[in-house]
Chain A
Amino acid sequence: MASDQKVLEVNDLNVHYFTPRGAVIAANAVNLYVKEGEIVGLVGESGCGKTTVAMSILQMVSAPGRIVGGEIKIEGQNIVNLPEKELRKIRWRKLALIPQGAMNSLNPVIKIREQMEDGITAHEKVRGVALRDKVFKLLNDVGLPERVYNMFPHELSGGMKQRVCIAMAVALNPVIIIADEPTSALDVVVQRVVAQTLLDVKTRLGVSMIMIGHDMGLQAQMVDRVAVMYAGNLVEVGPVGSIFEHPYHPYTRLLIDAIPSTKQKKSLKVTEGLTHDLRNPPRGCCFQFRCPFVRDACREKPPAFKQMAPDHFVACVQY
């Protein structure tokens, strides 16, 4: 299980998107770490900044977005503003990505073999039969037949493509993998099979992972710790058991209550409210416009993080 070694640290990350109508604050002072062998889930609604954080870790925030502050350390090395050449050495060997769109993540006109091999040969001196055997082994590890080696992406189903992506990501045994909603485009049965594959591979290799998602059920099944984001801010972080048992932040509670169940019928909880314009955040708590427990103190200054249980932090003035 997880050791205490922090393989990834995100310190005070600020990312802005510079639009003609003002800067959109997509990530505001985000602090996050991942310990060795741990899966951290990053959850929130669409547009809450979870993908921005992931892209920042990958150093792939594209214009008009820019990291305006903070550091991202992989095994202690800060990679923010690292020169392109240095960054390339870290990519894939230490920092891999399992992308979201299973349908479009593979180049449609290049064979699977080449797409799997180029990631390896860009960083390691493996060639010829050794290289082929390595790819075969990776395919086996994710439960794909060796035939896939010579196929084009359009000949594979969505689940198979996503497993190819998983095989690619673990090829160089990276320190940390960013999984961007790795199963969201798949049917529920296939989603489960792919999620199992992902967990198997993770257990076997002991790799650390950040798993982005919006499906709290899937998070409960897969991750060790959960980080909840709202409107560019981290609002609660904690071990998955603790979070589900006792969600402290009203927003986390909302997310958990909103999961529909097949076990029991429950009355629908209706909430409504608009997220503020990210160009123009309010003073105080980011959740004040939608919070059912909002009070004057929330409008004054942003709440500080407070520890509620071991490893479980929340930013809310209630506590």
Chain B
Amino acid sequence: MGGLTRSYFIQRVLMFFLTIWIGVTLTFVIPRLSGSDPTTAMLLTMMNQRGYVENADKIIESYKTSFGLNDPLPIQYIRYLGHVVRFDYGFSFARFPTAAWDMVTPALPWTLILLSVAAVLSFLIGVTVGSLMGWRKTPRWLQSILPISLTFTSIPYFMFGILLISIIAFKLHWLPATGGYSRSVDPGWNLPFIKDVLLHAVLPLISIVLTSMGGWALGMRGLMIGVNNEDYFLLAQAKGLSPARVFFRYGIRNAILPALTAFALGIGSLIGGSILVEFIFAYPGTGYTLYRAIQEQDYTVIQTITNLIIIITAAGVLILDLLYPLIDPRITYKRNVAS
């Protein structure tokens, strides 16, 4: 009964690879559909910026040969998939001897920690707020206060970030505006540094959490209202169970299942939106690295980060999907259990 069955596991893992494949293929195909290949385009702009370059055509041509851009597209595509699998995208365009991968790795922990904390926090707060809003027995005063927390729901994360920087950091000087830590502290496992890092993380975190929790809250409210009308919920009340028990075991326990599915589907857009937050706050994560790479037209770094984030997101979704049967006994239910 229940639990993880093999067919479900295989199905989810296949979805994981399919998602990654579609994602990385889109980033390969679309630019080429539009006519120009990215490397040439980027070299041209670089040269334009540096003014006249002698033998520009020859340089481009030699680049093209060395990057294999003269090969047929399918060959290029297969080579590209090879890069994806090996996490190897070659050298950074802008900082030549450095490998693109090495440009990205230092930024990765910052992003991973910030985003996972933000995602989990916003989901937890949103679910709590939403289920209280959808519960009939929630005290009136709380019912009237809760909707206030939805105020920022529709604002894009990064715009809310700009507002926070200008008010809390620049006007009130309560918290640091940008960066991951101050120059004055020594990076390492010491208390001042950790405190400084936490302080720097507050504003980015707030700007993601406050703007994204409303969506979860609204969804959860609807689900909770639905559960409120279910027969088993009414029976639980008729049994004279404590309101807390009814709320948690017969309310949230059921309403959260579809909310988790929505969460898995929403991770992608949450991460996408958060990338911009890093850029606004000059937070030393992949988002900021990406912004610099865009400024410097560093094609390989852009590609590395994009594909990495696609894979990380897919992994997050996969983990959620695999955990799901553990909390919903129905999902992998097979017929004839009794026999």
Query: Which residues of chain A have a CB within 8 Å of any CB of chain B?
Result: 58, 60, 62-63, 84, 87-93, 95-97, 99-101, 104-110, 114, 118-119, 122-123, 151-152, 154-155, 165, 168
Contact = CB atoms under 8 A, between A and B. Distances in A.
Query: Interface size class for chain B?
Result: 20 to 34
Contacts of B243: 84
A107 B237 contact: no
Contacts of A155: 1, 333, 337-338
Given A99-B231, A105-B235, A155-B338, A122 B333 contact: no
Contacts of A93: 240
Given A107-B232, A107-B253, A122 B242 contact: yes
A62 B136 contact: yes
Interface stretch (B197-205, B312-320, B322-330): B322-330
Contact of A154 (B235, B238, B245, B333): B333
Nearest to B136: A62
Chain A interface helix/strand/loop/mixed: loop
B242 A107 contact: no
A118 B241 contact: yes
In this complex, the member of B2, B235, B329 whose beta carbon has the largest number of chain A beta carbons within 10 angstroms is: B235
A199 B338 CA distance: 28
B240 A88 contact: yes
Contacts of B237: 60, 91
Interface string B210-242: 000000000000000000001110111111111
Contacts of B153: none
Nearest to A165: B235
Contacts of B250: 107, 110
Contacts of A63: 136
Given A101-B231, A119-B241, A152-B329, A109 B257 contact: yes
B303 interface: no
A122 B337 contact: no
26 contacts: A62-B136, A63-B136, A88-B240, A88-B241, A88-B242, A90-B240, A91-B237, A97-B235, A97-B238, A99-B238, A107-B250, A107-B253, A108-B254, A109-B257, A109-B328, A114-B249, A118-B239, A118-B245, A119-B241, A122-B239, A123-B240, A151-B1, A152-B329, A154-B333, A155-B333, A155-B338
B275 to A, nearest CB: 36
Interface of B: 1-2, 136, 230-232, 234-243, 245, 249-250, 253-254, 257, 327-330, 333, 337-338
B239 to A, nearest CB: 4
Contacts of A107: 232, 236, 249-250, 253-254
A60 B234 CA distance: 8
A107 B255 CA distance: 11
Question: 8 closest A-B pairs (Cβ-Cβ)?
Answer: A91-B240, A104-B231, A119-B239, A107-B232, A97-B238, A88-B240, A92-B240, A101-B231
Given A91-B238, A99-B238, A152-B330, 9 more contacts: A88-B241, A104-B231, A106-B235, A107-B249, A109-B254, A109-B257, A122-B242, A122-B245, A152-B2
A84 B137 CA distance: 11
Contacts of B329: 108-109, 152, 154
Contact of A104 (B230, B241, B253, B333): B230
Contacts of A122: 239-242, 245
A155 to B, nearest CB: 5
A122 B327 CA distance: 24
Nearest to A145: B338
A99 B230 CA distance: 11
Contacts of A101: 231
